[in-house]
């Protein structure tokens, strides 16, 4: 379910299925009807379990500070379908969405694609219509068979690999890594984060097969702590950038920043852009993303920790930022996630949990999450908006965690 997407489908009589159907045959055929717009774009492609959105956000900020016109395609949405497709930081407008749907209607795409495939095509068309310099494309699920994997990127990025979507991607790190490594293209560089050994072996082998140069965090480039912030070190480029002070919290965000800076070297080389260290410093300080340790009001943090790996990162950030504070959690998670393991991780820093229902057919009911929790203080919560506001007034550190769909709903309710 992509909020407000059906409005355009009905208006332009373009049907698509609300299912997941891995594979590239359908989207390749659909794009051929449109003259293959994706082939005219210069692309950075991202796949991975966690860190895609943050790495993309850092890279977008750096590219924009260098004067580039940047398109980005992300999922899931924060508010509705419009914010999944952006140019220069601005969500696609209704008029622009009408334009791409008219193009898809006239090309005869009705009934040929799934929702996500159709949205992917819409993103490619919008980026061509908007004449972007660079398009940052985030894989929806996996990589190898994801509809975004029709592009030939300047560089691919894999920030992390952990168990996820096991029904589609397999239940081992090797199987999931096989899908993520599917975005590596022939003789195109790939940049990777700190991957588990089992996953890294698969990615390394894929890079060798594709004759793709591989740059690994901690091996070819790194972030080092200094008294004046952080320094980016690149042994391959013999390059260093000091005095980096990012706004996004957590050690893992430093790693995502390093991935983005490394990727920008490849982008700058392809587009013949001169690297400006001052622009990079300004970019990483400005870069922020909704739902990533986002302080929405005093003492209230939103974080999309929706799988065990991202929950671990959240715990690390809490321990770093609020080492001696009492933490209250408000939690809602999709039922197809490893809910019990996620809760076990969050319970490392708190024994105070409130579970909520939110508007998504895949959401685990709050009363079921209570049964899975081992916290001593746990209950369901109906009017979470009033509770969160009261927590802020009491100056009680409260973290709303779990599904990005929950965070979207919370943000909307608090604004009301």
Residue 217's pLDDT band (cuts 50, 70, 90):
very high
Percent of the chain with pLDDT over 90: 83
In this prediction, residue 355 carries a pLDDT of: 98
In this prediction, residue 227 carries a pLDDT of: 84
Position 235 pLDDT exceeds 90: no
Q: Whole-angstrom Cα distance, residue 40 to residue 351?
A: 53
Q: Whole-angstrom Cα distance, residue 416 to residue 83?
A: 19
Eight-state DSSP code of residue 51: S
Size (the chain), residues: 416
Q: pLDDT tens, 153-210?
A: 999 999 999 887 777 888 899 999 999 999 999 999 999 999 999 999 999 999 999 9
Q: Whole-angstrom Cα distance, residue 335 to residue 362?
A: 6
Q: Whole-angstrom Cα distance, residue 252 to residue 249?
A: 8
Q: 311: which residues sit within 8 A by CB, 6+ positions away?
A: 305, 341, 342, 345, 346, 401
In this prediction, residue 300 carries a pLDDT of: 97
CB 126 within 8 A of CB 91: no
Q: Which CATH superfamily is 5-286 part of?
A: Mur-like, catalytic domain (3.40.1190.10)
Phi and psi torsions of 240, nearest 5°: -140, 140
Q: Which of 160, 124, 142 has the alpha carbon at shortest distance from 21?
A: 142
Right CATH for 294-415 from 3.40.50.10320, 3.40.50.10490, 3.40.50.300, 3.90.190.20: 3.90.190.20
Tell me the mean pLDDT in the region 34-49: 97
Structure tokens at 378: 């746990």
Q: Whole-angstrom Cα distance, residue 190 to residue 184?
A: 6
- With the C-alpha atoms ordered 102, 104, 108, 114, is the resulting torsion angle positive or negative? negative
What are the start and end residues of each CATH 3.90.190.20 domain in the chain? 294-415
CB 159 within 8 A of CB 52: yes
Residue 389's pLDDT band (cuts 50, 70, 90):
very high
Q: What is the pTM of this model?
A: 0.86
The number of C-alpha atoms within 13 Å of 121 and in the hemisphere containing its C-beta is 31
Q: pLDDT tens, 118-159?
A: 999 999 999 999 999 999 999 998 899 999 999 999 999 999
Position 1 pLDDT exceeds 80: no
What are the start and end residues of each CATH 3.40.1190.10 domain in the chain? 5-286
In this prediction, residue 128 carries a pLDDT of: 98
């Amino acid at each position: 379910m992509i909020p407000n997407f059906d409005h355009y489908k009905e208006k332009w009589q373009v049907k698509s299925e609300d299912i997941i159907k891995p594979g590239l045959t359908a989207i390749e055929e659909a794009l051929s009807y449109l003259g293959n717009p994706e082939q005219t774009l210069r692309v950075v492609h991202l796949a991975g379990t966690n860190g895609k959105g943050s790495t993309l956000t850092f890279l977008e900020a750096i590219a924009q500070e260098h004067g580039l016109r940047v398109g980005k395609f992300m999922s899931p949405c924060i508010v509705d379908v419009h914010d999944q497709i952006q140019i220069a930081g601005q969500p696609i407008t209704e008029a622009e969405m009408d334009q791409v749907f008219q193009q898809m209607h006239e090309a005869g795409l009705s009934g040929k694609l799934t929702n996500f495939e159709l949205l992917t095509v819409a993103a490619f068309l919008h980026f061509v219509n908007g004449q972007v310099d660079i398009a940052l494309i985030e894989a929806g699920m996996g990589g190898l068979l994801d509809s975004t994997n029709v592009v030939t990127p300047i560089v691919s990025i894999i920030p992390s690999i952990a168990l996820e979507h096991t029904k589609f991607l397999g239940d081992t790190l090797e199987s999931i890594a096989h899908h993520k490594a599917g975005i590596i293209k022939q003789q195109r560089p790939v940049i990777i984060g700190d991957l588990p050994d089992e996953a890294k072996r698969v990615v390394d082998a894929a890079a060798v097969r594709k004759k793709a140069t591989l740059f690994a965090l901690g091996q070819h480039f790194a972030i080092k702590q200094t008294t004046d912030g952080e320094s980016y070190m690149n042994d391959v480029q013999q390059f260093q950038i000091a005095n980096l002070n990012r706004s996004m919290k957590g050690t893992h965000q430093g790693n995502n920043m390093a991935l983005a800076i490394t990727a920008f070297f490849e982008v700058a080389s392809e587009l013949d852009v001169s690297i400006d260290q001052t622009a990079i410093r300004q970019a990483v300080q400005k870069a922020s993303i909704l739902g990533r340790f986002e302080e929405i009001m005093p003492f209230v943090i939103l974080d999309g920790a929706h799988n065990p790996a991202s929950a671990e990162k959240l715990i690390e950030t809490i321990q770093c930022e609020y080492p001696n504070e009492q933490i209250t959690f408000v939690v809602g998670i999709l039922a197809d996630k490893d809910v019990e393991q996620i809760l076990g991780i969050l319970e490392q820093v708190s024994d105070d949990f409130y579970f909520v229902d939110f508007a998504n057919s895949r959401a685990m009911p709050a009363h079921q999450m209570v049964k899975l929790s081992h916290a001593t203080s746990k209950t369901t919560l109906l009017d979470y908006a009033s509770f969160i506001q009261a927590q802020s007034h009491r100056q009680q550190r409260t973290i709303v965690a779990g599904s990005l769909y929950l965070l979207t709903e919370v943000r909307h309710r608090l604004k009301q």
